[in-house]
Amino acid sequence: MKNNEITEITPKRKFFEFNLGEVWKYRDLVMLFVKRDFKNSYKQTVLGPLWIIIKPFLSTFVFTVIFGMIANISTDGMPQFLFFMAGNILWSFFSSCLNGSSSTFIGNARLFGKVYFPRLVMPCANIIYNAIGFLINFVMFFILVLIYMFAGSNVHPNFCALLMPLVLLSSALLGTGCGLIVSSVTTKYRDLGVLVSFGVTLWMYITPVVYPVSQVAESFRSLALLNPVAPLVETFRYGFLGSGTFPWKYLMLSFLVTAGVLVFGMIIFNKVEKNFIDTV
């Protein structure tokens, strides 16, 4: 109560009442959660935040050895390490947004039961936390692109690189939308959470992360690009490496799917938010 005014906190009743303005009022809390996630992620580790850089290099090295050298998968004439790193860092960002958002209710049940704040604060903090990690990895990736270019490799960045902010935003929102749906459903059906990690891994292999779209049979190529993550990876890779093609029609479709998934996820999230504390 302030100046004889009473603030009443009640469950949301309208499906489309997202109250994003209220989330903005809690932006300081969002940043506190971002700092908390950084501390918890690298607490009691020897290398600390250096793992942000080490992990993508290690996973890209493994991809290069297994899929590039052993399986001899084509990279459309691009340097193998750069090809796999481009797909790896964007996919990791998307999957981290999805996995982080998918545990919003279950992972924060105790906190939600003690104090009120907009529940969307947690997914927003997750996006920012993962975006910081992606930008650090992207800087390292871009430095490698410049090194390969000056060394005379077949690397040719183009105008599509300017679309990176849109690709990054769409990856974050698509992952978060999917995560909100999973988080809402797992408040009642916990076994779905067990399938998430398997599903995300399977999703990666039907996305051109470790292979170019050109390696997909032509009769299935359009179907492969209907995967909303595929045009994002292809556009990112094409913009910075000149590899593959620019699937602009499928990219527009991916943006539409992202918007639909995000809105649907927020609607379900709002509905479950009213009484989830009684079921977790």
Q: Which residues does residue 5 pair with via DSSP β-bridges, in sequence order?
A: 2
Percent of the chain's residues with pLDDT above 70: 88
pLDDT digits (tens, 9 = 90+) for 182-193: 988 887 777 677
18 band by pLDDT with thresholds 50, 70 and 90: low
Rounded mean pLDDT of 9-28? 68
pLDDT of residue 277 exceeding 60, the answer is no
Q: Which of 216, 208, 200 is nearest to 237 (CA)?
A: 208
Query: In this structure, which long-range contacts are made by residues 117-122, counting pairs with CB atoms below 8 Å and at least 24 apart in sequence?
Result: 117/26, 117/29, 118/19, 118/22, 118/23, 118/26, 119/269, 119/273, 120/18, 120/19, 120/20, 120/23, 120/266, 120/269, 121/23, 121/26, 121/29, 121/30, 121/33, 122/33
254 band by pLDDT with thresholds 50, 70 and 90: very high
pLDDT digits (tens, 9 = 90+) for 82-116: 999 999 999 999 999 999 998 887 777 777 767 77
Separation of alpha carbons 268 and 181, rounded Å: 7
Separation of alpha carbons 103 and 110, rounded Å: 13
Would you state the pLDDT for residue 127? 94
Separation of alpha carbons 190 and 197, rounded Å: 13
Q: What are the backbone dihedrals phi and psi of residue 6, each rounded to the nearest 5 degrees, phi first? A: -115, 130
pLDDT of residue 123 exceeding 60, the answer is yes
Would you state the pLDDT for residue 187? 77
pLDDT of residue 52 exceeding 70, the answer is yes
pLDDT of residue 46 exceeding 80, the answer is no
Would you state the pLDDT for residue 217? 87
Would you state the pLDDT for residue 1? 46
154 band by pLDDT with thresholds 50, 70 and 90: confident
Question: Which stretches within 108-190 are classed as H helix?
Answer: 109-114, 121-150, 164-185
Mean pLDDT of the chain: 86
Domain ranges within the chain, ordered by starting residue: 20-34+47-278
279 band by pLDDT with thresholds 50, 70 and 90: low
- Upper half-sphere CA count for residue 100 (Cβ side, 13 Å): 27
pLDDT of residue 140 exceeding 60, the answer is yes
Least confident interval from 98-107, 129-138, 245-254: 98-107
Would you state the pLDDT for residue 227? 96
Would you state the pLDDT for residue 6? 58
26 band by pLDDT with thresholds 50, 70 and 90: confident
pLDDT of residue 234 exceeding 50, the answer is yes
